[in-house]
Amino acid sequence: MKTPRWRVAVIDDHARSQAEIAAAISQAGGGVVAASASSRDAVPLIGRVRPDVAIFAVGLGDGDGVAAARAVMAESPCPIVLFTSHRGDELIERATGAGVMAYLLKPLRPEELPPALDLAIARFREIRDLRQRLEARKLIERAKGLLMARRGLSEEEAFHTLRRTAMNHRRSMAQIARAVILAESLGREVAGDG
Protein backbone atom coordinates (compact mmCIF):
# COMPACT_ATOMS: atom_id res chain seq x y z
CA MET A 1 0.00 0.00 0.00
CA LYS A 2 1.27 3.46 -0.94
CA THR A 3 2.10 5.89 1.86
CA PRO A 4 -0.36 8.82 1.82
CA ARG A 5 0.92 12.30 0.98
CA TRP A 6 -0.50 13.51 4.31
CA ARG A 7 -2.12 11.78 7.27
CA VAL A 8 -5.01 14.11 8.13
CA ALA A 9 -7.35 14.44 11.11
CA VAL A 10 -10.65 16.22 10.47
CA ILE A 11 -12.68 17.92 13.20
CA ASP A 12 -16.02 18.99 11.67
CA ASP A 13 -19.55 18.40 12.93
CA HIS A 14 -21.15 18.41 9.47
CA ALA A 15 -21.11 14.97 7.86
CA ARG A 16 -21.32 16.48 4.38
CA SER A 17 -18.30 18.73 5.01
CA GLN A 18 -16.35 15.81 6.47
CA ALA A 19 -17.14 13.73 3.37
CA GLU A 20 -16.14 16.55 0.98
CA ILE A 21 -12.87 17.11 2.84
CA ALA A 22 -12.12 13.38 2.94
CA ALA A 23 -12.79 13.06 -0.81
CA ALA A 24 -10.52 16.05 -1.62
CA ILE A 25 -7.77 14.65 0.62
CA SER A 26 -8.02 11.24 -1.01
CA GLN A 27 -8.07 12.75 -4.52
CA ALA A 28 -4.85 14.65 -3.69
CA GLY A 29 -3.10 11.51 -2.45
CA GLY A 30 -3.65 11.91 1.28
CA GLY A 31 -5.57 9.91 3.82
CA VAL A 32 -7.91 10.74 6.69
CA VAL A 33 -6.56 8.91 9.76
CA ALA A 34 -9.21 10.21 12.18
CA ALA A 35 -12.37 12.28 12.17
CA SER A 36 -14.59 13.71 14.86
CA ALA A 37 -17.58 16.00 15.14
CA SER A 38 -16.64 17.16 18.64
CA SER A 39 -14.30 19.88 19.86
CA ARG A 40 -13.91 17.90 23.11
CA ASP A 41 -12.40 15.00 21.15
CA ALA A 42 -9.79 17.15 19.40
CA VAL A 43 -6.97 17.01 21.97
CA PRO A 44 -7.14 13.28 22.74
CA LEU A 45 -7.71 12.41 19.08
CA ILE A 46 -4.72 14.43 17.82
CA GLY A 47 -2.56 13.11 20.66
CA ARG A 48 -3.46 9.52 19.83
CA VAL A 49 -3.17 9.50 16.02
CA ARG A 50 -0.40 12.12 15.59
CA PRO A 51 -1.53 13.30 12.13
CA ASP A 52 0.70 15.25 9.74
CA VAL A 53 -1.94 17.99 9.68
CA ALA A 54 -5.45 18.61 11.07
CA ILE A 55 -8.42 20.44 9.58
CA PHE A 56 -10.77 22.13 12.05
CA ALA A 57 -14.17 23.64 11.30
CA VAL A 58 -14.65 26.89 13.20
CA GLY A 59 -18.22 26.31 14.32
CA LEU A 60 -18.65 22.98 16.06
CA GLY A 61 -21.84 21.82 17.75
CA ASP A 62 -20.17 21.51 21.15
CA GLY A 63 -17.71 24.39 20.98
CA ASP A 64 -15.39 26.63 19.05
CA GLY A 65 -12.89 25.17 16.57
CA VAL A 66 -10.40 27.96 17.25
CA ALA A 67 -10.46 27.21 20.99
CA ALA A 68 -10.04 23.51 20.21
CA ALA A 69 -7.07 24.35 17.95
CA ARG A 70 -5.50 26.38 20.77
CA ALA A 71 -5.92 23.42 23.16
CA VAL A 72 -4.34 21.03 20.63
CA MET A 73 -1.38 23.37 20.11
CA ALA A 74 -0.84 23.47 23.89
CA GLU A 75 -1.07 19.68 24.38
CA SER A 76 -0.12 17.87 21.15
CA PRO A 77 1.06 20.46 18.63
CA CYS A 78 0.46 19.74 14.96
CA PRO A 79 -0.18 21.89 11.88
CA ILE A 80 -3.80 23.07 11.86
CA VAL A 81 -5.84 24.38 8.93
CA LEU A 82 -9.08 26.22 9.71
CA PHE A 83 -12.11 25.47 7.52
CA THR A 84 -14.76 28.17 7.66
CA SER A 85 -17.13 30.45 5.79
CA HIS A 86 -16.18 33.40 8.05
CA ARG A 87 -13.73 35.97 6.75
CA GLY A 88 -13.48 38.60 9.47
CA ASP A 89 -10.25 40.08 10.81
CA GLU A 90 -11.26 39.09 14.35
CA LEU A 91 -11.40 35.40 13.39
CA ILE A 92 -8.06 35.60 11.59
CA GLU A 93 -6.51 37.27 14.64
CA ARG A 94 -7.94 34.61 16.99
CA ALA A 95 -6.82 31.81 14.67
CA THR A 96 -3.30 33.21 14.40
CA GLY A 97 -3.13 33.55 18.19
CA ALA A 98 -4.24 29.92 18.53
CA GLY A 99 -1.40 28.73 16.29
CA VAL A 100 -3.45 27.98 13.16
CA MET A 101 -1.12 27.72 10.15
CA ALA A 102 -3.51 28.07 7.18
CA TYR A 103 -7.10 28.79 6.22
CA LEU A 104 -9.61 27.19 3.82
CA LEU A 105 -12.85 28.94 2.89
CA LYS A 106 -16.19 27.22 2.41
CA PRO A 107 -17.40 26.02 0.03
CA LEU A 108 -14.41 23.73 -0.37
CA ARG A 109 -12.60 23.98 -3.68
CA PRO A 110 -10.59 20.74 -3.86
CA GLU A 111 -7.73 22.37 -5.79
CA GLU A 112 -7.10 24.73 -2.85
CA LEU A 113 -6.67 21.92 -0.33
CA PRO A 114 -3.18 20.61 -1.25
CA PRO A 115 -1.44 24.01 -1.13
CA ALA A 116 -3.17 24.84 2.18
CA LEU A 117 -2.06 21.56 3.77
CA ASP A 118 1.47 21.85 2.39
CA LEU A 119 1.72 25.46 3.60
CA ALA A 120 0.48 24.56 7.08
CA ILE A 121 2.98 21.72 7.40
CA ALA A 122 5.87 23.84 6.09
CA ARG A 123 5.07 26.79 8.39
CA PHE A 124 4.69 24.49 11.39
CA ARG A 125 8.08 22.86 10.74
CA GLU A 126 9.73 26.23 10.19
CA ILE A 127 8.40 27.60 13.48
CA ARG A 128 9.34 24.40 15.34
CA ASP A 129 12.87 24.52 13.89
CA LEU A 130 13.27 28.19 14.82
CA ARG A 131 12.18 27.44 18.39
CA GLN A 132 14.63 24.54 18.62
CA ARG A 133 17.49 26.69 17.31
CA LEU A 134 16.62 29.46 19.77
CA GLU A 135 16.52 26.96 22.64
CA ALA A 136 19.89 25.53 21.53
CA ARG A 137 21.41 29.02 21.44
CA LYS A 138 20.14 29.74 24.94
CA LEU A 139 21.65 26.48 26.22
CA ILE A 140 24.98 27.20 24.54
CA GLU A 141 25.09 30.75 25.94
CA ARG A 142 24.31 29.47 29.43
CA ALA A 143 26.95 26.72 29.19
CA LYS A 144 29.52 29.22 27.89
CA GLY A 145 28.79 31.44 30.87
CA LEU A 146 29.28 28.52 33.25
CA LEU A 147 32.59 27.55 31.61
CA MET A 148 33.77 31.16 31.69
CA ALA A 149 32.95 31.48 35.39
CA ARG A 150 34.14 28.02 36.47
CA ARG A 151 37.33 27.80 34.39
CA GLY A 152 38.16 31.47 33.85
CA LEU A 153 37.84 31.14 30.06
CA SER A 154 37.14 33.92 27.62
CA GLU A 155 33.87 33.74 25.71
CA GLU A 156 35.72 32.57 22.59
CA GLU A 157 37.61 29.88 24.54
CA ALA A 158 34.38 28.64 26.13
CA PHE A 159 32.72 28.44 22.70
CA HIS A 160 35.69 26.54 21.23
CA THR A 161 35.66 24.15 24.21
CA LEU A 162 31.99 23.37 23.63
CA ARG A 163 32.50 22.98 19.88
CA ARG A 164 35.58 20.76 20.24
CA THR A 165 33.83 18.57 22.82
CA ALA A 166 30.78 18.25 20.57
CA MET A 167 32.94 17.21 17.62
CA ASN A 168 35.00 14.75 19.69
CA HIS A 169 31.88 13.06 21.07
CA ARG A 170 29.85 13.37 17.85
CA ARG A 171 27.09 15.27 19.59
CA SER A 172 25.45 18.60 18.92
CA MET A 173 26.67 21.65 20.77
CA ALA A 174 23.24 21.87 22.41
CA GLN A 175 23.63 18.33 23.80
CA ILE A 176 27.07 19.19 25.20
CA ALA A 177 25.71 22.45 26.63
CA ARG A 178 22.93 20.49 28.39
CA ALA A 179 25.58 18.17 29.86
CA VAL A 180 27.64 21.15 31.11
CA ILE A 181 24.56 22.69 32.71
CA LEU A 182 23.55 19.36 34.27
CA ALA A 183 27.07 18.77 35.62
CA GLU A 184 27.09 22.26 37.14
CA SER A 185 23.71 21.74 38.80
CA LEU A 186 24.76 18.31 40.13
CA GLY A 187 27.99 19.85 41.44
CA ARG A 188 25.97 22.47 43.34
CA GLU A 189 23.65 19.83 44.77
CA VAL A 190 26.56 17.65 45.90
CA ALA A 191 28.32 20.67 47.40
CA GLY A 192 25.10 21.66 49.15
CA ASP A 193 24.69 18.18 50.65
CA GLY A 194 28.28 18.08 51.87
Do 7-108 and 132-193 show the same overall fold?
no
Cα-only R_g, the chain: 23
The residue length of the chain stands at 194
The residue extents of the domains of the chain are 7-108, 132-193
Work out the average pLDDT over 154-173: 94
pTM over 0.85: no
Q: Cis before residue 110, ω within 30 degrees of 0?
A: no
Backbone angles phi and psi of 178, in degrees to 5: -60, -40
Work out the average pLDDT over 45-52: 96
Residue 192 confidence (pLDDT) = 63
At the top level of CATH, which class does the domain 7-108 belong to? alpha beta
At the top level of CATH, which class does the domain 132-193 belong to? mainly alpha
Name the band, by pLDDT with cuts 50, 70 and 90, for residue 61.
confident
pLDDT tens per residue, range 77-89: 999 999 998 878 8
Work out the average pLDDT over 2-10: 92
Structural contact between residues 84 and 58, judged by C-beta atoms closer than 8 angstroms? yes
Separation CA 189–CA 103 (nearest Å)? 50
